[in-house]
Structure 1
Amino acid sequence: MPTLTHRRADKSQNLSAAPEPGTAVPPTKYKVTGIRVLRSEWGKFWSLRSSWITLGVAVFLLVLFGTVAAYTYSSDGAAPGGPPGGSSSDSDAVSLALTGVSLAQLAIGVLGVLLAAGEYSTGMIRSTLAAVPRRLPVLFSKAAVIGPVALVLTTVGALAAFQLGVPGLDDEKISLSLSDDGVLRSLLGAGVYLGLVAVFGVALGMLLRSSAGAIAALVGILLILPGLASLLPDSWYDTLNPYFPSNAGSAVYALHDSSDSLSPGTGLAVFVGWVALTLALAAYRLRKADA
């Protein structure tokens, strides 16, 4: 049993170890790690109303246009959502279900741009880089947050569009089921492509540091560039056209190979190359230029 003397001695030791009133207590030091930066970017992403709205719009466009295209399909008319002058004979159940990809890619890409360039517009980037002096984890964490989220949600949207459109094609020759060869791969490929588009938007936003400029670049690269390429000589156009970002990306989710397009695997490799190149340029500028 401790005696009264021992208790008084222990109490005096505790009092002597306690800091004196008015003495500054040193702050706890937290190490900046990749996981902590990733958690920070995850929190910022979901705290923005634009994230919820834009993701919802992208999925809605996928489901709406895919379903409407299936129910308005006619084997005697033009293919809904197809190229101008295109025939319905060029369509299949998967291409109809993925009619909304061209619009969904803009929504997803713009979201990626806003996630990156939006901090430059508000000046928040200075606080972010002050907290993460090495800088590059910020870029890679933004890409790691939005890429998988966009992939999962747009894949769900593509699957929903296909399944909802199946009853509308019951009596048509192009009708397919999810178990048919290549169908699931194409629908998953659409999600992979849109996930990469989101990362592409982040890279453009970090590279150009302007929301308006990066969105204009995104639209120009994905939609306008292939059209402008038709002004090239035919031999150049035939050679270069499959390697433009959006054309390479569309090969990823195409059900059938075409003579004038890349295979799904090659298309994925080419589009990943475009995204990686843009990320590398954004990383270089982030390291070398001031915020």
Structure 2
Amino acid sequence: MTTTTPAAVPAQQSSAKTAYKVTGPRVLRSEWAKFWSLRSSWITLAVAVVLLVALGAIASATYSPDVTAPPNGPGSGTQDAVSLALLGVTFASLAVGVLGVLLSAGEYSTGMIRSTLTAVPRRLPVLWSKAAVIGPVALVVSTVGALAAFQLGTLGLHGEKIALTMGDDGVLRSLAGAGVYLGLVAVFGVALGVLLRSSAGAIAVLVGVLLILPGLAQLLPDSLYDNINPYFPSNAGSAVYALHQSSDALSPGAGLAVFAGWVALTLVGSAVRLAKTDA
């Protein structure tokens, strides 16, 4: 009589299944590797930092006390060291937003999204992982760029009345707020890319929402425009990093809540489409 060990095969099968199980951390590591393997990630991040630092430093170096800032936007209409240092945030927001779009919609353009969703059939972890990768990366890189822009700006503003230091009230909050805003813009780009599944279309919507929509809204009656203007995504986001707010602008906390709400709403829409429709 011979004896067998039938439990050995199921144990091996169980071990194999455990080794290749799709989990959130593994999807996150995959998206992390995918992000840094793309040349566009390095180039676009570099462009964002260069725009942020260079424009801020140039604005500070060419500052003239006889020139005042336009009254539009979240600021009080007067220039300060922080507003000059963060002059490049608008242009940097386009760079990180485009990077978010390319990270998500780029897979639809190349057809790679089919392989991604085959490997991760539950789908939604892919979206959350892309957002979790690009958001913190853009936040850290942008915050470093904002700090560098401010430090370089202090050289150009030496002796001027508007000169500030890191220890002055609100300065660190504003510089960190710029990083938070740009991090959320990057996540907004990811959500738009998944929602629209077209790089060109998502970039067009990104530019329209952040830059064109507030300008077009000026065609509305003044009473209506004054009520809704602070709640546009870019205006709410600008309030997050403005050192001084005008009377009709949101506070930094309220601005962050409103802009984060826009991003969350777009993420929900992209999640629904990703889960319900084929790639």
TM-score, scaled relative to structure 2: 0.92
Which of the residues 229, 243, 248 maps onto 1:255?
A: 243
Say yes or no: does 1:31 pair with 2:27: no
Letter of the structure 1 residue corresponding to residue 159 of structure 2: D
Alignment of 1:64-103 (within 5 A): 64-77=54-67, 79=69, 90-103=78-91
Residue 145 of structure 2 corresponds to residue 190 of structure 1: no
Is 2:170–2:243's contact at 8 Å kept on the other side of the alignment? Answer: yes
Match of 2:210 among 196, 202, 222: 222
CA distance in 2, matches of 1:265, 1:77: 29
Q: Secondary structure at the match of 1:28?
A: helix
Q: 1:40 corresponds to which residue?
A: 30
Letter in 2 for 1:75: P
Conserved? CA contact 1:139–1:283, under 8 Å: yes
Determine what percentage of the aligned residue pairs are the same residue: 77
Q: 2:232 aligns with which of 230, 244, 253?
A: 244
Pick 1 or 2: higher relative contact order, CA cutoff 8 A, min separation 6. Answer: 2
Equivalent residue number for residue 187 of structure 2: 199
Unaligned ranges ≥5, structure 2: none
Matching residue of 1:272? 260
| Partner deviation per Cα, 1:181-207 (whole Å, 9 max, x = no partner) | 000000000000000000000000000
Distance in 2 (CA, whole Å) between partners of 1:150 and 1:77 is 32
Q: Secondary structure at the match of 2:185?
A: helix
The CA deviation at 1:83 is 7.1
- Tell me the alpha carbon deviations over residues 57-79 of structure 1, each in whole angstroms, 9 at most, x when there is no partner: 00011100000000000012355
Segments ≥4 residues shifted beyond 6 Å: none
Which residue of structure 2 lines up, in the alignment, with residue 22 of structure 1?
A: none
Distance 1:37 1:54 in 2: 23
Matched pairs, number:
268
The Cα of 1:89 is off from its aligned counterpart by 6.7
Stretch deviating more after TM superposition (253-262 or 103-112): 253-262
Q: Does the 8 A contact of 2:68 with 2:78 survive in 1?
A: no
| TM-superposed deviation, 1:257 | 2.1
Consecutive unaligned residues of structure 1, counting only runs of 5 or more, are 1-12, 20-24
> Aligned equivalents of 2:234 and 2:188: distance in 1?
11
Q: CA RMSD in A?
A: 2.2
**Matched AA of 1:52:** W
Q: 1:117 touches 1:210 (CA, 8 Å); kept in 2?
A: yes
C-alpha distance in 2 between matches for 1:207 and 1:67: 36
Equivalent residue of 1:172, what SS? Answer: coil
**Larger gyration radius, structure 1 or structure 2:** 1
Residue number in structure 2 paired with 1:59: 49
**What is residue 141 of structure 2 aligned with on the other side?**
153
1:173 aligns with 2:183: no
Residue of structure 2 in register with 1:6 after alignment: none
The SS at the match of 1:50 is helix
1:141 paired residue among 111, 129, 141: 129
Three-state SS of the structure 1 residue aligned to 2:16 is coil
Q: Measured at CA, do residues 277 and 54 of structure 1 come closer, stay the same or move farther in structure 2, by a change above 3 Å?
A: same
8 Å CA contact retained: 1:75, 1:89: no
Once the two structures are superposed, residues 207-246 of structure 1 have per-residue CA deviations (whole angstroms, 9 ceiling, x without a partner) of 0000000000000000000000001010110000000000
After TM superposition, give the deviation of residue 28 of structure 1 in Å. Answer: 2.6
Kept after mapping to 2: 8 A contact 1:208/1:214: yes
Q: Which amino acid aligns with 1:196?
A: L
Provide TM-score, normalisation by structure 1.
Answer: 0.88
